[in-house]
């Protein structure tokens, strides 16, 4: 394929790309030691959606907002969905939360006590009701369940309890609804996390059925883990349901995606593009899962979306024919060079062109800053409690 054709194909793919935003990134989150407030932080899900809509307004590729229950509990979820519609966005995945209830201290779906497991299953059924009310088709499950000390509980029995509980939740889904199961290698548990890795999540979702897939959070792997290998494997199984994009230097830092390791993000998007999983109908949901503890939240989300666009653009510019030829010829350096040529390409002008063709300002960050929105909400949102994790 000629380079010019590849560029046009890349621009067309970038115009169709969508990135889902986390409602909780617009509220306060914190470090282990302190939650820092910021002026103008939303006080409720309606204001969170308004801020998320700003990201879509200036990037054009962030039309969905993922909700977290109970952080985004409201009396009228169909009203919230209409509010989203009025803002030009939609409600995306519904996240359950079994990591902040006293009853779940020793686990939720894995808890030794069947009454506690039943409570956790009921919470997920409540989330499914929220999906029905908002039109969301996806339930996102992350279990903080785990152990801190050897012997604390039976590793095997906990897996059986999780399998049984997940089956009950999966059974409660409507036929057009899906479930994605997230894994994380540690935290808050420090000895064993019951769903610690892609293999465990994959085993559980394959046991459930076709409408269950894996969520890959880029901050949830042991240091040194080759994440693009996991991406390739899950795509090969047709079980990659979603990404929680962020970046990290050490642990689950939840920093802006691409900030800590832009090359890793590129390698991940390369595997995605090779499999055609960047296409809107691929069934892979590209979401952000980040916390902006010290930086302004809307600009940080805009920057993060831009980082995903740029990594995707570089991946779309890989000369796959030349790469494959070099790989099959055993030309190690030749193959590596083809990939690095794409990675070393400054794609910012290309992505800016795509924005202009979409009728947007080529520089979303500057356009948002010039809008005065941040100052407006800082002045308006006085009083009430700023939204947060409530931890
Ligand atoms: C867990 C996690 C999960 C969310 C939470 C906000 O670390 O990544 O995806 O529920 O962050
Ligand atoms: Mn996550």
Alpha helices by DSSP H, listed for the chain, are 3-16, 45-59, 77-87, 114-134, 155-172, 198-208, 227-237, 262-274, 297-316, 320-328, 332-343, 348-357, 364-371, 373-380
Instruction: Report pLDDT for 38.
Output: 96
Ligand 1 centroid to Cα of residue 3, in Å, is 40
Find the range with the poorest average confidence among 71-75, 277-281, 308-312, 386-390: 386-390
Which atom of ligand 1 lies nearest, measured to the CA of 96?
Answer: 10
Q: DSSP class of residue 247? A: B
pLDDT confidence tier of residue 2, bands split at 50, 70 and 90? confident
pLDDT confidence tier of residue 391, bands split at 50, 70 and 90? low
pLDDT, tens only, 341-377? 999 999 999 999 999 999 999 999 999 999 999 999 9
Please tell me the distance from the alpha carbon of residue 199 to that of residue 213, in angstroms, as a whole number: 12
Residue matched to tokens 């356009």: 367
Ligand 2 centroid to Cα of residue 244, in Å, is 5
Say which ligand is closest to the CA of 189: 1
Residues with CB under 6 A from ligand 1: 24, 95, 142, 182, 184, 217, 244, 252, 289
Ligand 2 centroid to Cα of residue 105, in Å, is 20
Instruction: Report pLDDT for 309.
Output: 98
* Ligand 1 mutation target, pool 195, 289, 387, most atoms within 8 A of CB: 289
The closest residue, in CA terms, to atom 11 on ligand 1 is 289
Break the chain down into helix, strand, coil percent, rounded to 5.
50, 15, 40
The closest residue, in CA terms, to atom 1 on ligand 1 is 142
* Ligand 1 mutation target, pool 20, 145, 182, 285, most atoms within 8 A of CB: 182
What's the count of helices (H) and strands (E) in the chain, helices before strands?
Answer: 14, 10
Rounded to the nearest integer, the mean pLDDT of the chain is: 97
pLDDT, tens only, 255-289? 999 999 999 999 999 999 999 999 999 999 999 99
Ligand 1 centroid to Cα of residue 94, in Å, is 12
Instruction: Report pLDDT for 22.
Output: 98
Which atom of ligand 1 lies nearest, measured to the CA of 291?
Answer: 6
Please tell me the distance from the alpha carbon of residue 322 to that of residue 327, in angstroms, as a whole number: 9
To the nearest 10°, report the CA torsion of 183, 131, 134, 292.
Answer: -20
Say which ligand is closest to the CA of 144: 1
Which atom of ligand 1 lies nearest, measured to the CA of 252?
Answer: 7
| pLDDT above 80 for 168 | yes
Ligand 1 centroid to Cα of residue 193, in Å, is 14
What mean pLDDT is predicted for residues 134-152? 98
Single pTM value for the model:
0.98
pLDDT, tens only, 12-26? 999 999 999 999 999
Residue matched to tokens 């779309």: 316
Percent of the chain with pLDDT over 70: 100
pLDDT, tens only, 316-338? 999 999 999 999 999 999 999 99
pLDDT, tens only, 196-252? 999 999 999 999 999 999 999 999 999 999 999 999 999 999 999 999 999 999 999
Please tell me the distance from the alpha carbon of residue 389 to that of residue 48, in angstroms, as a whole number: 13
């Amino acid at each position: 394929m000629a380079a010019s054709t590849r560029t046009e194909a890349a621009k067309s793919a970038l115009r169709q790309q969508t990135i889902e935003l986390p409602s909780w990134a617009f509220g306060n989150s914190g470090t282990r030691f302190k939650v820092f407030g910021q002026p103008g932080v939303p006080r409720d899900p309606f204001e969170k959606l308004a801020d998320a809509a700003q990201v879509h307004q200036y990037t054009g590729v962030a039309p969905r907002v993922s909700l977290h229950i109970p952080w985004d509990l409201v009396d009228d979820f169909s009203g919230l969905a209409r509010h989203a519609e009025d803002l030009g966005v939609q409600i995306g995945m519904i996240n359950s939360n079994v990591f902040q209830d006293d009853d779940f201290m020793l686990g939720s779906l894995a808890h030794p006590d069947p009454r506690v497991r039943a409570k956790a299953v009921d919470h997920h059924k409540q989330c499914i009701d929220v999906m029905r009310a908002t039109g969301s088709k996806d339930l996102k499950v992350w279990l903080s369940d785990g152990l801190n000390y050897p012997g604390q509980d039976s590793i095997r029995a906990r897996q059986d309890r999780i399998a049984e509980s997940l089956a009950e939740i999966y059974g409660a889904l409507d036929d057009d609804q899906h479930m994605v199961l997230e894994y994380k290698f540690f935290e808050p548990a420090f000895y064993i996390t019951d769903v610690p890795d892609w293999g465990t999540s994959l085993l559980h979702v394959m046991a459930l059925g076709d409408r269950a897939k894996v969520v890959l959070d880029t901050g949830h792997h042991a240091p040194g883990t080759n994440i693009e290998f996991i991406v390739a494997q899950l795509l090969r199984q047709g079980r990659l349901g979603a990404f929680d994009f962020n970046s990290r230097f050490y642990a689950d830092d939840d920093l802006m995606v691409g900030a800590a390791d832009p090359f890793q993000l590129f390698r991940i998007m390369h595997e995605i593009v090779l499999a055609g999983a960047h296409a809107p109908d691929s069934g892979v949901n590209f979401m952000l899962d980040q916390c902006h503890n010290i930086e302004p939240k809307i600009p940080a989300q805009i920057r993060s979306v831009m980082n995903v666009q740029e990594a995707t653009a570089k991946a779309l510019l890989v000369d796959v024919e030349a790469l494959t030829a070099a790989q099959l010829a055993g030309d190690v350096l030749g193959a590596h060079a083809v990939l690095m040529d794409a990675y070393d390409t400054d794609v910012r002008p290309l992505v800016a062109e795509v924005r202009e063709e979409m009728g947007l300002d080529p520089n979303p960050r500057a356009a948002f800053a010039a809008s005065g929105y941040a100052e407006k909400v800082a002045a308006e949102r006085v009083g009430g409690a700023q939204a947060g994790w409530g931890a």
